[in-house]
Structure 1
């Protein structure tokens, strides 16, 4: 068992934060924080990393040992820099993460699906791709029937489609993203055109480029309950 729950409680005490105030910093609920502190549940790794980074606490210390209040008060920006350097040495990479919360906000037009700079970051092993986007799969997303093999909260990692990799998309799963919608489909070659197909009625011609919004699936991380 990690020491995350005990450390969250220590951080709240040191910073004078209620469970609700702490939860709102990380798009969580008061119930989430209560569960963590009582060791009835543990946050996902990306959540733990966000909390540690926010309070400038090395991730390893936050997870593996119970911190004292004095230690928490002594952590500063230098600690965060050390953590970032450690992530680089481990060949990890932070990727914009379209989480369940972000999907809900975008669906209700509180933010745009394309506001990637506003998304939380998910730390993943380094991959030899350029622009990447991680998506927490939800069954209520508009999707092709081929996506039925995925479970809610599986993390799908997509690479932006460019002129250089467009020929690698044929027969692959993909994503189309605009300010107002997200579509999960299959790339298919039809009538000398590359299309992202949602169903027989919705087929989008692929136009690669920085503003096109087409992404190709390159990795899947299965959510284990």
Structure 2
């Protein structure tokens, strides 16, 4: 009986490991056009403090835990800690060039998702404005303050892609629908309001409340 238990446990672990994909700071050495790729763009606190960033209000930003969680759902993750002096528009062009590389490997556009959290979501919108593709997918988490809505209003009729917005009810950064209004080059718009009571801290950890809807949306 014990041997059977050990065998079942090993098979479960093996299945879990085989499901996990790569995590890399840039395009992986081997690109499989049949797999799905996520660019994860972290929040501003990681850009300021590094991978082990800690907020006095929201606690630790679990950057590597977030990457592991997304990878373990079967995605290839491309993410790096941005330098402190990163210029958002320049970095958006860098990611856009990396997307071109995946497309050159014949990865379908709808197998590529850019997931941005807070400042990373700001960069995500910049990428969408550069790409002008209705096939690419963009998930924006905790972005739309009054300032962001005003700043990105210049793009609202020019943003192409399939969009998912996730925000938390008690966060000062709320709905993004004002800049995600319907337009012919948008293939989809979905928004989810969470009610966790964590404010902006909802994106500091891979909470299932936002991870599971994100995964389901990517896999649709």
Higher helix share: 2
Same fold (TM over 0.5): no
Higher strand share: 1
Please, what TM-score do these two structures have when normalized by structure 1? 0.27
Larger Rg: 1
